[in-house]
Amino acid sequence: MEVVQQRKRETKLKRWQKVSLIFLGVFIVLIISALIFVNGYINRSLPQIEGNVSLAGLTETVEVIRDGQGVPHINANTDRDLFMAQGYIQAQDRLFQMDMARRQASGRLSELAGEVALERDKYFRTLGLRRAAEKSYQSYSEDAKQVMEWYATGVNRFIEQAKSSNSLPIEFTLMGGEPEKWTPIDSLTIGKYMAFDLGGHWERQAFNYFLLQNLPEEKANELFPTYPNNAPTIMKEEEVNISSLLKEAVLPHPFNGSNNWVVSGDKTASGKPLLADDPHLGLATPSIWYQMHLSSPNYEVSGVIFAGIPGIILGHNQNIAWGVTNTGPDVQQLYLEKRNPDNPNQFLFEGEYEEATVINEDIKVKDRGNVDYEVIETRHGPIISEFAKKSGKETALSLRWTALDASTELEAILEINQATNWKQFEEGLEKFLVPAQNFVFASKDGTIAYKANGKIPIYEEGSDALLPLEGWKEENEWKNFIPFDELPTVVNPDKGFIATANNKVVGDEYPYHISNNWAQPYRYQRIEEVLQEKNKLTTKDMKELQMDQKDLRAQEFVPIFLEQVDEEGVNDYGAKALQLLRQWNYVDDVEAPEPLIFNRWMKAFSDRLYEEQIPEGMMEFFKGRGQTTDELIRKVSSGENVTWIEDQGGLSKALTLSLNETITDLIDEHGKEITSWEWGDFHKVEFTHPLSSVAFLDRFFNPKDPKPVGGSKVTVMAASYDYNEGIVDHGASWRFVADLNDLSSASHLVGPGQSGHFRSKWYHSQWDNWVNGGYHETKTKDYQGKQLMLQPE
């Protein structure tokens, strides 16, 4: 009986095993089928780069060749077809990025992201970048408007095709939305957002005001670049609380800057000028830049453009090359506004209350419905925080900003693209108003030139944009702007080169105020040092200089630190660290321990100075903190008294304590073998996709681990990083070198790659080159690659 029961159990087990295997097989088949479906669905949105595509609206066939780095070369027989094709091709590679850019700048992220983006949307609705774009559109010529329409038509043809074939980028499916039709206003709004990203200095005005509200005047003044002679009366703290008033403000990254330089043929091996440019912006996937080559009867231009905008903003044509850095002028001014206690929409001006403009914004929020939001604009500009009303006080802050005026940057870009010499180029610049930029220029005729270009307000002597101004006084109004012909300009200087790196661009003899907050001078000093000492320069020298990691800040301050630190007050590990610093060559090498020790020591010292008296929320407004800290150290080391440092027991004590703190932290993070520490263990770069913060998407959109990288925020090879995690998030978003001896090609680097599709071979194809200094040559003649023919319907 027992044997029979055993056999029954075995038979039953075999049946279950067989059934289980069948179920497992079916499950595996279903999983594989699902993966094949998902894979096919995702791959369906990869751009078509070969064959033929019909495009309604084209007048003739357009050839598009994508070269080995995915750079599209568009050849058209008419300008209409060229810009339609440009819109179509950009949308193929970057449609989701384009849609997110216009949503962010327009204050419409909540429609896709939900309530988490609501405060950000309110801020951008308040700024009114889209309203400014609409005003700007009216200032454009009919020809420029036509270009924008052609471009928008090309984008919309792609959107229509992608919707009908169910091949929109996967990000739209994940976010639960679809792109609307593209319009010229969308392109101009993205341009206004770039003006925001490169910004002005209202944050520092707010910070300076906070200092005077909360600290003794002498101590507050020590953090000022200078102090205005006729500063406005500081109001009582309870009347306008800066720290709470601006807590929801969205601030651009403080490191947004750039390097550029141009060298005369007298100093080059080819006998023709060399030009180099590397704009420093956020490092992300996709890149902020999209590289293209455009060819038609009126255009032959190669370089980069922001996705969502026609033309080429930086690059070269057959005769000239150009590049930019951020000038950083004071083009933003905060105004204190006195509100009528009986009417919250009226503000005082010269003894009378004026009616403000009230704009009702209807914000659509996913999974919540519509939110009614009210924006108030005074004569100066928008009240930049809704908290001004909620505070119940009679004082608010408004923002006057040149970018909120009508401006014509795209018109300038189109003219620059067709310029053949400095005269034509400079004429085009007159229409480039915001953001103010340092343009460097070179032409085949040998001319090199520079212009700090843009709409820069004239400040009366003594006001100098350091503090909010009283908005109820006529004397504080902006009345004029620096005349175009009087903007800083240099043509063919005797020294044979021109360079800028967001440094101070004018001396005390210049009659107009430009800015109080310039970048630390180290990048510029290093560029100038290399260009002065060398002749017979080549493109190879230019590339090496763009990757130069010599740290002149360390070269200045390490000797001071070594002289001032109390060596008896540090332990054996600290003593070893000091010994390493004594032998350092001041290069922020990825494998060296010294840049790790110095940069972390400098941060710990800076934190020690400020953290107790400046709340965390206000530290974000401390623009130029590094420059200010450097100046305080210089003053003390030269014998001056500085309250901020004296309050820490003096420079020696502050340096000793911050070094001990630094070494303790580094041992916890990297172990006790100090000589084995490496800068790259902490300092790493990654290019993150905006949706990668969703955990399960990270492995798809960010398939590579962060890579160790050298350089720092003060080296020519710019690599600014998050001070807590060490992740490099700002740096050279594009690197460019052109030899005017042969403009049929130029050297480029677009990090991390051309494509916005994570399945594309060009998604992260330039990441390693970004780290190691690699470039690709982009030709305007005799290029080869995958051919796509866009044909009229």
CA–CA separation, 395 and 387 (whole Å): 11
Q: Mean pLDDT, to the nearest integer, of 135-142?
A: 98
Q: Report the SS3 class of residue 294.
A: strand
Rounded average pLDDT over 603-614 = 96
pLDDT of residue 252: 62
Contact assessment for residue 393 and residue 376, using Cβ atoms and an 8 Å cutoff = no
Task: Give the confidence band of 395 by pLDDT, cuts at 50, 70, 90.
Answer: confident
Of 482, 484, 488, the residue nearest 430 (C-alpha): 484
Among residues 560, 769, 773, which one has the least CA distance to residue 68? 769
- 341, burial (CB in 10 Å: exposed 0-12, middle 13-18, buried 19+): exposed
- What pLDDT was estimated at residue 9? 60
Sign of CA dihedral 124, 688, 164, 112: negative
- DSSP lists the bridge partners of residue 750 as 734
Q: What is the pLDDT of residue 227?
A: 35
- Residue 389: pLDDT above 50? no
pLDDT of 388 > 60? The answer is no
What's the pLDDT band for 608 if we cut at 50, 70, 90?
very high
| Range with the poorest average pLDDT among 219-228, 293-302, 486-495, 609-618 | 219-228
- In angstroms, the CA 209 to CA 201 distance is 13
| 735 beta partners | 749
Tell me the mean pLDDT in the region 142-146: 98
Q: Where are the beta strands (DSSP E) in 420-566?
A: 437-443, 448-453, 469-470, 489-491, 497-500
552: three-class secondary structure by DSSP: helix
Q: What's the whole-number mean pLDDT along residues 319-333?
A: 96
Q: What does the block give as tokens for 507?
A: 């001396």
Q: What share of the chain is helix, strand, coil (3-state, %, to 5)?
A: 40, 20, 40
* Backbone φ, ψ for residue 556 (5° rounding): -80, -45
By CB atoms closer than 10 A (0-12, 13-18, 19+), residue 164 is exposed
Q: What CA–CA distances, in Å, run from 470 to 234, 348, 465?
A: 10, 10, 12
Contact 182, 152 (CB under 8 A): yes
Cis peptide before 457 (omega within 30 of 0): no
| Higher-scoring residue by pLDDT: 422, 232 | 422
Euclidean distance between CA atoms 107 and 116, whole angstroms: 13
Distance CA 43, CA 15 (A): 41
What does the longest C-alpha to C-alpha distance in the chain come to? 113
> What would the pLDDT profile of 343-352 be if each residue is shown by its tens digit?
999 999 999 9
The whole-number average pLDDT for the span 511-525 is 91
Q: Are 510 and 488 in contact (CB under 8 A)?
A: yes
Q: What is the DSSP letter of 486?
A: G
Q: Give 719's contacts (C-beta < 8 A, 6+ positions apart).
A: 683, 685, 709, 710, 711, 712, 713, 728, 730, 731
Q: What stretch of H or E contains 352?
A: strand 352-355
- Mean pLDDT, the chain, integer: 91
CB atoms within 10 A of CB 503: 20
Give the pLDDT of residue 385: 73
pLDDT band at 528 (very low <50, low <70, confident <90, very high): very high
Query: What is the pLDDT averaged over residues 111-127?
Result: 95
CA–CA separation, 333 vs 404, rounded Å? 12
| Residue 157 burial (C-beta neighbours within 10 Å; 0-12, 13-18, 19+) | buried
Asked whether residue 30 carries a pLDDT value surpassing 60, the answer given is no
Structure token digits, residue 116:
């988490």
**The pLDDT of residue 229 is above 50:** no
Q: Are 515 and 332 in contact (CB under 8 A)?
A: no
Q: What does the pLDDT average to over 151-166?
A: 98
Going by the annotation, the residues of the binding site are 330
Backbone φ and ψ of 194, nearest 5°:
-65, -35
Q: What percent of the chain has pLDDT over 90?
A: 81
Residue 621 has pLDDT above 70, yes or no: yes
Task: State the Cα–Cα distance between residues 507 and 630, nearest whole angstrom.
Answer: 20
Looking at per-residue pLDDT, the higher value among 23 and 578 belongs to 578
The predicted structure's pLDDT at residue 462: 63
The mean per-residue pLDDT over the stretch 438-456 comes to 97
> Stretch 196-209: mean pLDDT, rounded?
86
Q: Which of 12-16, 79-83, 216-220, 609-613 has the lowest mean pLDDT?
A: 12-16
d(CA 206, CA 157): 46
Compute the distance between CA of residue 20 and CA of residue 5 in angstroms, rounded to an integer: 22
The answer to whether 713 touches 719, Cβ cutoff 8 Å, is yes
Q: How confident is the model at residue 743 (pLDDT cuts 50, 70, 90)?
A: very high
C-alpha to C-alpha distance for 791 and 81, rounded to whole angstroms: 10
- pLDDT band of 394, cuts 50, 70, 90: confident
% the chain with pLDDT above 70: 89
Q: What's the start-to-end Cα distance of the chain, in Å?
A: 83
Half-sphere exposure in the Cβ direction for 391 (13 Å, CA): 21
Residue 551, classed as helix, strand or coil, is: coil
Residue 690 pLDDT > 60: yes
CA 140 – CA 436 distance, rounded (Å): 19
pLDDT of residue 16 exceeding 70: no
Confidence bin at 507 (pLDDT 50/70/90): confident
CA nearest 691: which of 205, 132, 97? 97
pTM of the model: 0.92
Q: What is d(CA 287, CA 280) in angstroms, rounded to the nearest whole number?
A: 12
Rounded CA separation 128/382 (Å) = 8
Residue with tokens 């001014």: 333
The neighbouring-strand residues paired with 53 are 790
**3 state SS of 369:** strand
Over range 26-42, report the average pLDDT: 46
pLDDT of residue 694: 76
**pLDDT on residue 256:** 66
The SS3 call for residue 69 is coil
pLDDT digits (tens, 9 = 90+) for 43-98: 899 999 999 999 999 999 999 999 999 999 999 999 999 999 999 999 999 999 99
* DSSP codes, 99-117: HHHHHHHHT-THHHHGGGG
Tokens found for residue 454: 């843009």
Phi, psi (deg, nearest 5) at residue 646: -60, -35
CA dist 84 and 61 (Å) reads 12
Contact 75, 302 (CB under 8 A): no
Q: Predicted confidence band at 624 (pLDDT cuts at 50, 70, 90)? A: confident
Q: How far is CA 80 from CA 87, 414, 788, in A?
A: 11, 13, 18
Check whether 386 has a pLDDT greater than 90. Answer: no
pLDDT at 199: 72
Cα angle vertex 401, ends 395, 403, to 5°? 150
Quote the strand ranges of 467-573, DSSP E.
Answer: 469-470, 489-491, 497-500
pLDDT score of 221? 92
Q: Copy the structure tokens of residue 487.
A: 């903007």
Comparing CA positions, the residue from 330, 336, 328, 334 lying closest to residue 458 is 330
Counting Cβ atoms within 10 Å, is residue 585 exposed (0-12), middle (13-18) or buried (19+)?
exposed
Helix, strand, or coil (residue 668): helix
With cut-offs at 50, 70 and 90, classify the pLDDT of residue 248: low
In eight-state DSSP terms, residue 733 is: S
Q: How many CA atoms lie within 13 A of 604 on its CB side?
A: 21
Which residues form the catalytic set? 258
- Token pair belonging to 527: 């560029």
Helix axes 651-670, 625-637, angle to 10 degrees: 130
